[in-house]
Amino acid sequence: MEIRTIGVVGAGQMGSGIAQVAAQAGYQVVLVDVAESFLERGLSAIRRSLGKFLEKGKLTQEAHDEALGRIRTSLVLGDLGEADLIVEAIVEDEGEKRRLFERLGSLAKPEAILATNTSSIPITALARHSGRPERFIGMHFFNPVPLMGLVEVIRGELTSEPTREVVVGVARRMGKTPLEVQDYPGFVSNRLLMPMINEAVEALREGVASKEAIDGVMRLGMNHPMGPLELADFIGLDTCLAIMEVLHRGFGDDKYRPSPLLRRMVQAGLLGRKTGRGFYAYDEKGNRLA
């Protein structure tokens, strides 16, 4: 099956990034969200990202303009009816995703592939609600999508081999390295990353060290580009909590129990960069304040 048009549902950080790399790869893109303000914010992020590539000489003016020209936005889910591949990039909530895929399964053309950008929810559980489990797959991109090279490709129990082959080819055309992993909660990336972040939150709660010291140990001692608490702010504490809850529920093991401090911060609306405050404070552009 040849992929010409890619639909993306959700114009947030991940969805706008997926739309950008798809357009840069030469695909026609339909970006859908529930409000015009969300779409405009997503397009603004795409323009900024492409603009930086242009300034750095990584993109010609022609390629810049062509990529932007391949993206159209819509508030109507039905406008994805002719898409060959639809990638879901909405909130990390299994109920919301299930309801979306029930609708997408009904409106997408029969041969279309449905993919989820979930970072933790089992693919087989979502595929059943799409009505087309053989044409359903996980495509887990990483943030920021235009810069990160990995896509975790996760087959559900009934995902067909042709579906896998098509999606692997799409990821490679986008300039990504597709790595195939099995359908377990958290896959590989978040099964390893989130418990580390959660343990850093617990260390902070227990008073083992300050947030600056915890992050400094991992940056300077382990050569991580940013510490786990700063990374949690970047990802979003609500997303971190949601993933930990998926791991805890999926494995039934208390080693994945979310830190009470993480839960309290989410309840307080301290979600990280997107709210201006998490473990650290941020300005309106997302820059960390001293």
Residues of the chain with pLDDT under 50: none
Q: Residue 33, annotated ligand binder?
A: yes
Residue 248 among the catalytic residues:
no
Q: Is 157 annotated as a binding residue?
A: no
Beta carbons of 100 and 126 less than 8 angstroms apart:
no
Of the listed 117, 129, 130, 140, which one is catalytic?
140
**What pLDDT score does 64 carry?**
98
289 falls within a domain: no
Instruction: Render pLDDT for 42-69 as a digit per residue (tens, 0 to 9).
Output: 999 999 999 999 999 999 999 999 999 9
Catalytic residue among 119, 120, 130, 198: 119
Catalytic site includes residue 190: yes
Check if the beta carbon of residue 111 is closer than 8 Å to that of residue 90. Answer: no
**pLDDT for the residue numbered 1:** 82
Which one of 147, 167, 182 terminates a domain? 182
12 appears as a binding residue in the annotation: yes
Q: Is 58 annotated as a binding residue?
A: no
Pair (143, 73) in one structural domain: yes
d(CA 125, CA 134): 13
Which candidate in 88, 152, 230, 245 is catalytic?
A: 152
- pTM assigned to the model: 0.91
> pLDDT at position 286, please?
86
Let me know if residue 222 belongs to a domain: yes
Both 201 and 73 in one domain: the answer is: no
User: Does the annotation count 117 as an active-site position?
Assistant: no
The DSSP code for 79 is: G
**CATH code, domain with 205:** 1.10.1040.10
The span from the CA of 106 to the CA of 89, in Å, is: 18
Residue 19: CATH number of its domain: 3.40.50.720
92 has binding-site annotation? yes
287 is catalytic: no
- Residue 285: predicted pLDDT: 81
